[in-house]
Amino acid sequence: METIIEFKNCTKSFGKNTVLNDISFKIKKDTGIVSVLGKSGSGKTTLLRLLAGLEIPEKGEIFINGKTVCKNGKNIIPPHKRNIGFIFQDLALFPHFTVFENIAFGLKLKKQSDYKNTVNEILKKFEIYSLKNNYPNQLSGGQQQLVALARSLVPEPEILLTDEPTANLDVKLKKKIEELLNDIVKQNNIIILSVTHDHKDAIKQSSEILMLNKGKIAFFGTSDEIIHTKNISVTEFLEI
């Protein structure tokens, strides 16, 4: 099967702090959900930001669909041309735009003529159509999460990056978001790279798990494999 994402010897530092150190891995198309696990400061968010093009590794290369997107400390393909959706940890909903305007933002930039229909469709699908004229500060946490998800999916990305998408949500909403993500993977055939702290959910939800420890890959494999691994740093983290 074809590779969609490839990291090749990537290193990223902030000042003297090396956050990711010479990491390499490949993710194949049709993998579905890949969870990125690790302790705080292990480099999970940085990994997503490198893939999105918001940070540039000083060493190594990143490939998307076989194309080099960055190499030798330079971004070759800018973030918006990588066909990636990103749900930020703070959701980054524009506070001065309504729900509709937030979701339409990316489509308008692509000069899509029937963007209104597309936005209305996704609003209905996510059951937030009645909120289309509300501003983010008039929404609950769960509703904001749904808007952020809709906004990142509406340009039909091949890869969706989510940074702790269900943190701070109650169990019911968390389940709803997870179901939505699963549906999206099945229907749209996209890859979701999801940073999470919750390893139990990660094991339940994901096809593959990538675990980082001190800037290195501690584990990369399927959910079944991680349960049976004897790698001490992994078992300690998973409390197996």
Burial class (CB in 10 A: 0-12, 13-18, 19+), 218: buried
Decide if residue 137 touches other proteins (CB under 8 A): yes
Candidates 60, 136, 165, 215; binder of other proteins (CB under 8 A) is 136
Decide if residue 56 touches other proteins (CB under 8 A): no
Decide if residue 94 touches other proteins (CB under 8 A): yes
Total residue count of the chain as it appears in this document: 240
Q: CA-CA distance, 158 to 160, in Å (whole number)?
A: 7
Helix boundaries (H) for the chain: 44-52, 99-109, 115-125, 141-153, 171-188, 199-205, 223-227, 232-238
Nearer to other proteins, 2 or 137 (CB): 137
Decide if residue 92 touches other proteins (CB under 8 A): yes
Instruction: Output the DSSP codes for 32-94.
Output: -EEEEEE-TTSSHHHHHHHHHTSS--SEEEEEETTEEEEETTEESS-GGGS-EEEE-TT----
| Count of chain residues binding other proteins (CB under 8 A) | 28
Candidates 52, 123, 131, 177; binder of other proteins (CB under 8 A) is 52
Decide if residue 57 touches other proteins (CB under 8 A): no
Shortest spacing between CB 88 and other proteins, in angstroms: 4
Decide if residue 80 touches other proteins (CB under 8 A): yes
Q: Of 63-71, 90-98, 122-130, 200-208, which part binds other proteins (CB under 8 A)?
A: 90-98
Residues engaged in binding other proteins (CB under 8 A):
52-54, 78-81, 84-86, 88-90, 92, 94-97, 105-106, 109-110, 135-138, 151, 155
